[in-house]
Structure 1
């Protein structure tokens, strides 16, 4: 896919940003290592913490997020698996025939990806790209010209609402008893009815979808603009999960749907009992609900194994990063940096401006800690302590950090990498469009946080 070289003002503005990101932004793992060193130095220079105490706090903290790390990896793994099940892929091929014009195609891809992201972020991240590719194939068959980089950008932009939805790691962590946020919440939990499913958050998510959908309609290529279509050699991404050869009795067992169906029904029964007996939504319950859905729709253990292998490659880097985030949290907690940073934030914020300033700071931190769960480990305790000092509702602090995390994902290349790999594009091909999403969503989220703080 060639890089778009239109001479629009938007592209002229974005060119230096493209160049900077591609040449100077290292991997998320490198950021985690550098951030560890920076926090260690800050602990020794800003507090009365010795090098030995820093090392001890770091080492003791490394294993502090093991349970949370597993929960986060499962959300990503199960989301990828769900996106690649046969029913979902068939649904995407059917949806690809819905838009009748190129202008509607861009908006349609964004809205579908946003809805999928609200269900689970791993699903939304992949569904948008797969749908963009399917629509590009259908458009080519119909003789309809669509700009493929804009389709992919629309699919990735749906990710901008993920932390407002069902799999939002920050709100779910705050709702999970005994989580690492519990000490900052007075060993209490904040139910998702006050965060994810609060009226103001759901209206905010709807507003972001409407505003950004309208923006994609407005920035669509016009007649004089260059349009790069999906290359003719690229077709619909057919299912590559070919049936395994069934030869032995053991193979017949592995190819049977009975076992996965029974396990899926068992999980559904557990979830029903959990909620009937007054259970609440937590990270674990979210994961088991997605696992139950996958078990009910796969055809056999063979297919489940294939989907797991396909999705597992996307989990490895997070497994390495989370112990580093836990170590950073260990240094900050043992040295008193959390209190120091929260006091500094309190000195510049007021109860009214707290939400907007927390959004901006979280958007900045997201460049260094692109994982939403990892960012809450590093920044969550600081913002909750600051909110407590200012008398701000902790649900506002949680959602402000969540908003900031999802906001700058639009220009942070970490989560875009799997999307770009599927689409065969580079970050510079979509960045001009996702930057528009950054602006539109940022205005909406800041306005919502300001309004609820009045």
Structure 2
């Protein structure tokens, strides 16, 4: 059983013909934001230009964190031990339908641990599944495999690296006076959130096989990948190594700094309690990579291999920071959020926050950045309507992750590893966007009525 071609064809055709590459998308969104700001607010062209320019460097520190996250997650996913594990997982499917579902489930599970791990592991498992299936004569559509991996990413903001829930759980956060501290046991560690994440991921795992194309339209993985040359240079063990080379190839040296990082993380948890920040996630990935790498030199080679996945992000994120500056500096983000908050009731406030976050995510693909923009407005609305603050926190988180399925920014590392173009997967992710939108909406309505 699969979806009728007439249902899926419009999405794939539109994506293939009209969906621009991520950098062009960022430029178009910048211009669209500028026009909307001039039309919807009382800002002047000079004021809008100033807000945009002031915003460009505003997320440079976050860009650095983001780059380290992707570099370290990419390196970890390409260590010998993790690659062997992924290869074993890749050999599990016995038919094409199982392959699509397995990729979605694996990427989704990794995304719940950390969004960056979900993207990197998703791309890696898609490649391994495609390669192993090809070796066994199972024909799978490689673009759909990669889309399945990205589909698993749709639940990342319901897991351990969830930006908005972690923000409001942190002592001294900017909205503490208005809403207090909300521990993660009331947001991401609730039964409702876990059940909804499970339903959404199961729906993606069921939907992806239903979107498989006809046999004549299948695009298999590049045959050159079947040989799978090692992406890691073999460390020389020549007895004529210089002292410097011996030091570079000394595994205990890289392992010792990895252990030091783990000790720091453990001590931090002991001092402050268990909490996750992007820095903690980063050092966890770096520590694990250093411990699994063959040597310091090998770890550097793994990091160098991630350059293609990180370079475009470094280029584009300042432009999204400019959009953030434009939306906040001109008041456009407030206009959008105010509109949704003003038409909501106590029962529908979560839904309003969800759709508002989904819309703003197209302009600002950052969970933390979105909460900074929308949090004050929806917390105030929650206070007026006497709605539990955890509802709006989760609603903003769900909206942020939901429209990632049609926002191409986070496909960059995934596609860099998979070796595909955006337009090859976006038609499938639009369908995932529609299905999960219904699921998240229903879940938030249930929370609001409860």
Q: TM-score interval w.r.t. the shorter chain? A: 0.7 to 0.9
1:26/1:281 CA distance change after superposition, 3 Å: closer
Number of residue-to-residue matches in the alignment: 443
1:392/1:241 CA distance change after superposition, 3 Å: same
1:398/1:141 CA distance change after superposition, 3 Å: same
1:294 to 2:285 alignment: no
Partner of 2:187: 195
Distance apart, 1:207 and its partner CA:
1.0
Contact 2:12 2:426 in 1 (8 A): no
Partners of 1:103 and 1:374 lie apart in 2 by 37
1:428-439 map, 5 Å: 428-439=423-434
Partner of 1:358: 353
Task: Name stretches of at least 5 consecutive residues in structure 1 with no aligned partner.
Answer: 1-5
Partners of 2:324 and 2:416 lie apart in 1 by 32
Partner of 1:237: 228
Distance apart, 1:111 and its partner CA:
0.8
TM (norm. structure 1) is: 0.84
CA RMSD between the two structures: 3.3
Distance apart, 1:84 and its partner CA:
1.9
1:305/1:263 CA distance change after superposition, 3 Å: same
Partners of 2:333 and 2:410 lie apart in 1 by 27
1:142 to 2:142 alignment: no
1:336/1:29 CA distance change after superposition, 3 Å: closer
Q: Which of 275, 278, 288 is matched with 2:269 structurally? A: 275
Partner of 1:218: 210
Deviations 1:29-61 (A, max 9, x none): 42564366357636xx735x6777767766666
Contact 1:322 1:374 in 2 (8 A): no
Distance apart, 1:282 and its partner CA:
2.7
Distance apart, 1:205 and its partner CA:
1.1
1:13 to 2:10 alignment: yes
Partner of 2:114: 120
Partner of 1:3: none
Contact 2:147 2:428 in 1 (8 A): yes
Task: Name stretches of at least 5 consecutive residues in structure 2 with no aligned partner.
Answer: none
1:227 to 2:221 alignment: no
Q: Name the SS for the 1:315 alignment partner.
A: helix
Partners of 2:217 and 2:439 lie apart in 1 by 31
1:367/1:334 CA distance change after superposition, 3 Å: closer
Distance apart, 1:344 and its partner CA:
2.5
Partner of 1:77: 71
Partners of 1:55 and 1:19 lie apart in 2 by 33
Partners of 1:146 and 1:61 lie apart in 2 by 44
Q: Name the SS for the 2:138 alignment partner.
A: coil
Q: Which of 427, 437, 442 is matched with 2:437 structurally? A: 442
Partners of 2:246 and 2:327 lie apart in 1 by 54
Partner of 1:205: 197
Q: Name the SS for the 1:252 alignment partner.
A: helix
1:275/1:191 CA distance change after superposition, 3 Å: same
Contact 1:96 1:138 in 2 (8 A): yes
Deviations 1:360-392 (A, max 9, x none): 222222222334444444444444444344333
Partners of 2:219 and 2:343 lie apart in 1 by 47
1:179-190 map, 5 Å: 182-183=174-175, 186=178, 188-190=180-182
Deviations 1:235-293 (A, max 9, x none): 15332110355732122112112222222222222222232334233333222222222
Partners of 2:288 and 2:195 lie apart in 1 by 27
1:301/1:190 CA distance change after superposition, 3 Å: farther
1:369 to 2:364 alignment: yes
Partner of 2:254: 260
1:167 to 2:164 alignment: no
Distance apart, 1:88 and its partner CA:
1.4
